[in-house]
Amino acid sequence: MTGEHSEGRQSLEHDLVVVLTSVLTRACTGASNPEDAALARKLVHDLHQPKVDKFVRASAVAAVMAAFPPQEAPDRKLVLAARTSARVLCEPDQPEPWILLGGQALALLSAGGHSDQPAVDFLLAAEAMRKVEQYNLATWAIRRALAEGGLDQQRLVHAHLMLWLVTHDPETGAQARAGAALLPEDNVVRRAIEATVWPGSPGTGDAGVLDSRVTGALRMLKVLDGIIGEGHDDDMLRGLRQAIEAYSRPTLDLGQARAGLTRAIGFWRSRRGLGQVPRAATAGLDAAITLLLIDATSEQVILLCELLEALADAGLTRDQVDWAADSMSPAALQASLARRASQEPVWPDLELLFDRLADRHVLLVHPRRGLGDADVVVLYLRPPGGYLLNRVWLDAEDQRTLDRLSGRPLSGLRSVSQDDVDRLAGKIISPAFAEALDQSSTQELVIVPAGALATVPWSSATVHGRSWTTRPITVAASMSVAAAVPPIASARRRVHAIIDSSVQGGKELLSVLKEHATVHTKLPAAPHPDDVLVIFAHGTGAGLEYRLHLPDGPVDVLSLARARLPQRVILAACRSGGPPPEAFPLAVPTALLLAGATTVVAGLWPLPAASTARILADALLEPESGLADAVRAAIGRSGFTTVIDRAGLAVFGRDDR
């Protein structure tokens, strides 16, 4: 076997294990999807090859068996062998996805009653999960160990120590110190607690008021050197140290800062690929952002813009995706993209991006929730090279609005008023931003929102007395994604509609469109590029695994991306335009844009079916205007006054006016 083929096989094995751990994470936390059992068994089948590590094979079989139990009880010898294999995978010299798989296997076997010492196995599992900084899982496993009981004093204290390390909960720290006092003075766990856990241990926060980038960087260097000196060493710490050292010079060394941040971003993406970025890693990058905000020079703003773009894009546009690679499942392709994005991170080329964005304005909106009070960094870029920078703190009312806009629970979304949206948008978008946009000749605005801000209905807002309901606003995952989408030069032609008539409003929409559209029950074979594809159906999931429940059966987004798409697509399905998976931020509209679509209209949250059907019927009967304008105009004519009824559809990609 050649080295290239060997590397390819190992990469595939890595990606399959990562996908399996994501399924098992949902099983551990009680959040499994209906398709997870079948997917997990297929992954076990794919991993059952002689060249795959035998401990990986055994742990995968056992974990899936425990997570999705078969009708017959497993053989005891199989369980014993699986527990041994899982312990081997938990060793620190194993690849990180292997360590996580080993911990999950131990935990799920214990949860399923397949361990004669479940508390101890839960504790071993938690230690493995903590090694790869999957702290939510580690917290779950530690709490299960404590609930099982039967731990000796040293293990009990060790459990409280680990729980404190991942939560920094003061009560847990007090329990750890009280328990440690009962251990011998030379006990290794007691000494670790006395050296680590102290009353009032500080959490993560801004280090006071920093008077300059240089002094702030020098203080942060001391902190990083102390952490590295204690034996903690990884690409995040080394990369941050390299960047912050560049910050500490009176003249910012952009080359060194970019090199260090690129290294740190690679580590951050690798942790994200496993499912959770630890708070410390996020806090480190947030501190790097904070320093750039102090008395920001043009060079600092350039670096800040590049850093925010690197975080937003996360490698989405790093590779040309081979959408026709039929051998890859949606989850495996996402894992492969995430791995490549972390192994070879590419730093953004702002000059190239600005050239491709042409005369479009850009608003980068980056929320930060790890540094005390939640705040948002807002960077407004206007062609040909101007910028406005702001930092906004969100109060409890703003946070409630964001939480409700997530649509979980749906009753919270129904309670969001237009005043709530206007207040939030008006706080994030300053009067200076709004005025600068009004004074421009083009006024087309690309918004790149991150985190919880991805569900804000920007197009429905009235900002400082200016209505944005008719403004050409598009949403993009990153500037790179927006820049990669070409403009539409031709008018729309015919409409291809796939409508689930069992959904409320579906029959009425079908009746209106039957004389104006070609109706299908599955994806059309060869639509013209200037056609419009409309799908009105239920939707579930996220990313490439998002599934549209069409009349002829469910279709995942990867299959849709592999199909021949027209330039304009409407996905009137719940959360079709919602936040992407944590492991790799490939949201549904982004996948379609990268696959060839140009304008995608999708739902930010659970869409009310009847009101959405009425808006679509009106928009699609207006063939003379662009699709985005037609949807905006139909919303304006609808008469709907509630946010949930009128503001759930957003435009991604290019405005086709």
pTM score, two decimals?
0.86
Contact 460, 483 (CB under 8 A): no
Average pLDDT over residues 50-63: 91
Q: Check pLDDT > 80 for residue 18.
A: yes
Distance (Å, whole) CA 650 – CA 534: 14
Judge whether 358 lies within some domain.
no
Judge whether 104 lies within some domain.
yes
Distance (Å, whole) CA 190 – CA 183: 6
Host domain of residue 45 = 1-150
Q: Which of 20-29, 77-86, 155-164, 316-325 has the lowest mean pLDDT?
A: 316-325
Q: Check pLDDT > 50 for residue 200.
A: no
Q: What is the CA radius of gyration of the chain?
A: 26
Residue ending a domain, among 150, 179, 203, is 150
Indicate whether 246 and 322 sit together in one domain.
yes
Judge whether 335 lies within some domain.
yes
Give me the chain's average pLDDT, please. Answer: 87
* Domain count of the fold of the chain: 4
Q: Across the strands, what pairs with 497?
A: 519, 534
* CB proximity list for 336: less than 8 A, separation 6 or greater: 11, 15, 328
Q: What is the per-residue pLDDT for 101?
A: 96
Which pLDDT band holds residue 441 (cuts at 50, 70, 90)? low
The tokens of 315 are what?
């490698």
Q: Write out pLDDT tens, residues 370-417.
A: 444 578 999 998 877 788 898 898 888 998 999 999 877 788 899 999
Q: Write out pLDDT tens, residues 457-485.
A: 999 999 999 888 888 999 999 999 999 99
Average pLDDT over residues 78-84: 88
Judge whether 352 lies within some domain.
no
Indicate whether 507 and 647 sit together in one domain.
yes
191 residue type, one letter: R
From the list 171, 193, 170, 169, the residue with the least C-alpha distance to 181 is 193
Q: Write out pLDDT tens, residues 213-234.
A: 899 899 889 888 888 887 777 8
* Strand ranges in 422-523 using DSSP code E only, listed in sequence order: 445-449, 462-463, 466-467, 473-475, 495-499, 517-520
The tokens of 52 are what?
């795959």
Indicate whether 547 and 632 sit together in one domain.
yes
* CB crowding 562-598: b at 16 or more within 10 Å, else e: bbebbbbbbbbbbbbbbbbbbbbbbbbbbbbbbbbbb
Residue ending a domain, among 481, 512, 544, is 481
Q: What is the per-residue pLDDT for 656?
A: 80
For 369, which DSSP code? -
Indicate whether 16 and 58 sit together in one domain.
yes
Indicate whether 12 and 121 sit together in one domain.
yes
Angle of helix 330-343 relative to helix 3-28, nearest 10 degrees, comes to: 110
Q: Write out pLDDT tens, residues 602-652.
A: 999 999 999 999 999 999 887 667 888 889 989 989 889 899 999 999 999
Average pLDDT over residues 183-211: 59
Distance (Å, whole) CA 634 – CA 639: 9
Indicate whether 230 and 342 sit together in one domain.
yes
Q: Check pLDDT > 90 for residue 91.
A: yes
Q: Write out pLDDT tens, residues 293-314.
A: 988 888 999 999 999 999 999 8
Of residues 573 and 489, which shows the higher confidence score? Answer: 573
Q: What is the per-residue pLDDT for 59?
A: 94
Judge whether 423 lies within some domain.
yes
Instruction: Give the side-chain half-sphere CA count within 13 A for 125.
Output: 36
Share of residues in the chain with pLDDT > 70 (%):
93
Q: What is the per-residue pLDDT for 5?
A: 37
* CB proximity list for 76: less than 8 A, separation 6 or greater: none
Judge whether 274 lies within some domain.
yes
Judge whether 326 lies within some domain.
yes
Distance (Å, whole) CA 28 – CA 111: 9
Burial class (CB in 10 A: 0-12, 13-18, 19+), 295: exposed
71 residue type, one letter: Q
The tokens of 108 are what?
């799920």
Average pLDDT over residues 502-525: 89
Q: Which of 369-378, 516-525, 534-543 has the lowest mean pLDDT?
A: 369-378
Q: Write out pLDDT tens, residues 349-377.
A: 999 999 999 889 999 999 876 444 578 99
Indicate whether 492 and 476 sit together in one domain.
no
Q: What is the per-residue pLDDT for 3?
A: 38
Strand (E) or helix (H) holding 379:
strand 375-382
* CB proximity list for 434: less than 8 A, separation 6 or greater: 463, 464, 466
Q: Which residue in the block uniquely carries the two structure tokens 């670096």?
A: 303
How many residues can be counted in the chain? 657
Residue ending a domain, among 101, 117, 150, is 150
Share of residues in the chain with pLDDT > 90 (%):
50
Indicate whether 552 and 418 sit together in one domain.
no
Indicate whether 318 and 378 sit together in one domain.
no
Q: Check pLDDT > 60 for residue 174.
A: yes
Indicate whether 493 and 473 sit together in one domain.
no
Helix (H, G, I), strand (E, B) or coil at 549: strand
Indicate whether 256 and 343 sit together in one domain.
yes
Indicate whether 506 and 462 sit together in one domain.
no
Q: Write out pLDDT tens, residues 579-594.
A: 888 888 899 999 999 9
Distance (Å, whole) CA 419 – CA 434: 18
Which pLDDT band holds residue 10 (cuts at 50, 70, 90)? low
